[in-house]
Structure 1
Amino acid sequence: MVETAYEFECNRAELLGLDKPDFQEFCKEYDAKKAAEEIALETEHLKEIESENEALKGVSGGLEELSSILRSTQKRITNFKVSYGSITDYLKDKIGRRGSGASTKSANSESTDDPQMISQHPNDSSNEHLHTQEIKLVNDKGTTQFENKGFENDKEEVVASHLDTDLSRALDNHVDKLDSLVTKAENCEIGLRHQNKQMKGFLGK
């Protein structure tokens, strides 16, 4: 390398009509110049590393926040699994509670309108006529209650369907956010490894 540079300087001196440089002096100047260039290059590298380290401090804070979010999310998922086991069990529990409430209300209404509770007087023709009208009224109410009960069952199915859709949508959205956070964390980890490798390389010189 030195010889090539010295030969170049000799050819340059001949073209300009100058004396050829002394080889020993040229080597000293060449080594000093190279050392200065290496020092300047290392100084620039160190400045870049310091700047990157400042940026990594912000990344570290972001990773700590990410870890906190992941821990909180994991805690919620664990509590959900302990309480319900799965989304299906959760939906069954919610629908069962609503269904039992509707059945209790319907049973109370039916007991109030029980035809056996209506007083009857066989010897009184007007009472028989009234009894017939009351039985018809009770039957009409029973039919209405049956129709309303069927409507409530349909309503429960619609609510369960909407709840299932909302939960699935929320979980999908949550999974997408977690995937995005995991990707950012992986990218930060790759950057940290690269910086660590660079630092070890500079410290090893």
Structure 2
Amino acid sequence: MSEQVSYEEECQRAELLGLQPPDKAEFERKRSARLEQQLAEQEAAEAVMLEQQGESLRSAGGKLDELNSILSSTQQRLNRFKQTACGSLTNIFTRGGSLSGASGASASMDVPGYSMEQSAEPPQPPVQRQPQPMAPPTAAEVAAAKAAKRAMMDSQLDKLDSLINKADNAELAMSEQTKQMRRIAK
């Protein structure tokens, strides 16, 4: 943003350059138009930034959903492995100390691939607002824009809360599965 010049400074500048001092009403009109344009540019930049953050949140949410899905599948496979290969100590000893059955079971477990799940919301193109030339926004338009921005920020906070919960669930699941695998390996 450019530095704002006061009327007195503009008069001093004109005097130094040997120009006519500007009309105060004209100066104030131009100044308010510049301020409105800067405000509109700032709001447009904030809207673009909010939209980009929304896209990032949707992407992170999808990745966390995928991670939690993989962890759920891994937990099911761990449970099956424990039931079949490590059901009881007698099962382990009756196999004659051979680990080929256990290694064959673990080799047959395939790791699920990364499938790109589509989010429920289709991606939306970024909003590009262009300031209207010389038409100042009405109070209702300003209030509506502020309300929309507030709603978008509230929505993003809700998405962040959801992401935090998903990440916590993933962390707990990974920790529990790591403990289970260590117990199985002993």
* TM-score (norm. length: structure 1): 0.39
TM-score normalised by L of structure 2: 0.43
Larger relative contact order, structure 1 or 2 (CA cutoff 8 Å, min sep 6) = 2
More helix by share: 1
